[in-house]
């Protein structure tokens, strides 16, 4: 009896194994195809996510670029305002004393009158150059202007 039982169990296990392998053979191509389809779907989803991320990065980059432009424009405006105020401050002193210098020049005579008149014309030309100077050259123009102004003041005795 134990032989029959062992033989029955072995045959049952053998048939089960053969039937299981046959079933596995039948489903393997399908499950492989399904797995391939799942991998393809996951690849497509990953591609879509990457494209969305790329669009978001592009949007962030554009916003950052706009912010940088705004900051640059504000800095440029601030620099122009500071330059304008600096020019006005430098010209205020000269413009306030210019009528007095012209009166003193009128009281001069001879070579001093000629020299002072020439320096006054040069000073007026430098004033115009200074008013029209750009950010790169206004400091050097200011130095020339102040030097000419001081020379004229010494010449007329102001």
Q: Which residues contact 80 (CB under 8 A, 6 or more apart)?
A: 135
What does the pLDDT average to over 64-72?
A: 82
Band of the pLDDT at 45, cuts 50, 70, 90? confident
Distance CA 63, CA 7 (A): 79
Domain boundaries, the chain: 32-156
CA distances from 74 to 68, 99, 101, 122, 124 (A): 10, 38, 40, 36, 33
88-113 pLDDT per residue, tens: 887 888 888 888 888 888 888 888 88
State which H helix or E strand residue 13 sits in: helix 2-106
User: Is pLDDT of 145 > 60?
Assistant: yes
pTM of the entire predicted model: 0.51
User: Is pLDDT of 117 > 80?
Assistant: yes
User: Is pLDDT of 14 > 70?
Assistant: no
For the record, the structure tokens of 43 come out as: 């690849």
């Amino acid at each position: 009896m134990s032989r029959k039982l062992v033989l029955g169990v072995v045959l049952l296990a053998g048939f089960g194994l053969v039937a299981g392998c046959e079933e596995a053979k039948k489903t393997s191509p399908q499950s492989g195809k399904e797995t391939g389809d799942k991998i393809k779907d996951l690849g497509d989803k990953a591609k879509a996510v990457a494209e969305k991320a790329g669009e978001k990065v592009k949007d962030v980059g554009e916003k950052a670029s706009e912010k940088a432009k705004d900051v640059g424009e504000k800095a440029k405006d601030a620099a122009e305002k500071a330059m304008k105020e600096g020019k006005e401050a430098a010209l205020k002193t000269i413009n306030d004393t210019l009528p007095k210098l012209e009166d003193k020049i009128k009281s001069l005579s001879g070579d001093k009158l000629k020299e002072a008149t020439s320096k006054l014309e040069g000073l007026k030309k430098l004033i115009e150059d200074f008013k029209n100077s750009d950010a790169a050259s206004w400091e050097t123009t200011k130095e020339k202007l102040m030097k000419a102004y001081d020379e004229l003041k010494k010449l007329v005795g102001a």
